[in-house]
Structure 1
């Protein structure tokens, strides 16, 4: 079924303001990098500038696939979603470009990156690993949400 067909069941498109509010309230998503055979997907925490940029901190090893692929791609995708219940969820898909942020500019992003969620393991490893900061400049964004029961469905109705 298409998104248009799902509207009759309560699916709604999110406008730009709703997408901004949603991204501002979330901390993790999935980065999709193109590969010849299949997409390369990475769960990542992110900082959001409130307008058109996300920021990712990469821990890079001696041969980092994500670092190499991020440098080689012109276009990447990032999916952020939140599911509260099967009838209450939101999803935003972003398409954009990834670039490395020079270390001299990291201090300027301190506020944006201060609320980024990171597992303790990543925090500990970052003390001894190569760290890079990447900017994801949003070119396209789409969002959908479903909040509430579908039309014709009543709470407690288990006949469906």
Structure 2
């Protein structure tokens, strides 16, 4: 079924403001990078600038598929979702070009990157490895949500 067909059951499309608010309230998602046979997908924490871009801090080892695929591909997708219950969930899919941010520009992003959530493991491990920042320029965004019981369901419950 399409999103339009599911609207009668309580599914709603999110507008741009709802998508911005949702991205600002979350901290992780799944980054999809183009690969030869199947997409390469990896959970990532992110920082949102509020409107046009999201940023990822990569901690890289000596041989990194994530880095190689990020440099080879010119577009990526990023999925952010939250599920509270089977009747209360949200999902936002972003797409756009992914590019490395030059280190000399990191200071311009300090406010955005400082507030980004990161796993405690990465903080404890330090930044002795290779660190890079990547930007996903949001060119396409789509969000859907279900935030209550399906229409007709509540009426069928008698207490």
TM exceeds 0.5? yes
Residues 56-67 of structure 1: pairs in structure 2 closer than 5 A: 56-67=56-67
Q: Give the conservation status (yes or no) of the 8 Å contact 1:77–1:95.
A: yes
**How far did residue 108 of structure 1 move?**
1.2
**How far did residue 127 of structure 1 move?**
2.3
2:121 match: 121
1:86 match: 86
Q: Give the conservation status (yes or no) of the 8 Å contact 1:11–1:144.
A: yes
Describe the superposition over 1:96-142 as per-residue Cα deviations: whole angstroms up to 9, x where unpaired: 11111111111111110112111111123342210000011011000
Describe the superposition over 1:65-93 as per-residue Cα deviations: whole angstroms up to 9, x where unpaired: 00000000011000001111110111000
**How far did residue 4 of structure 1 move?**
1.1
Describe the superposition over 1:18-51 as per-residue Cα deviations: whole angstroms up to 9, x where unpaired: 1111111111110000111111111000000001
Task: Specify every segment of 5 or more residues in structure 1 that has no aligned partner in the other structure, as ranges.
Answer: none
Is 1:34 aligned with 2:72?
no
The number of aligned residues is 158
Q: Give the conservation status (yes or no) of the 8 Å contact 1:59–1:126.
A: no
2 CA distance for matches of 1:51 and 1:29? Answer: 17
Q: Give the conservation status (yes or no) of the 8 Å contact 2:59–2:127.
A: no
**How far did residue 156 of structure 1 move?**
8.6
TM-score for the superposition, normalised by structure 1: 0.94
Q: Give the conservation status (yes or no) of the 8 Å contact 1:60–1:131.
A: yes
1:107 match: 107
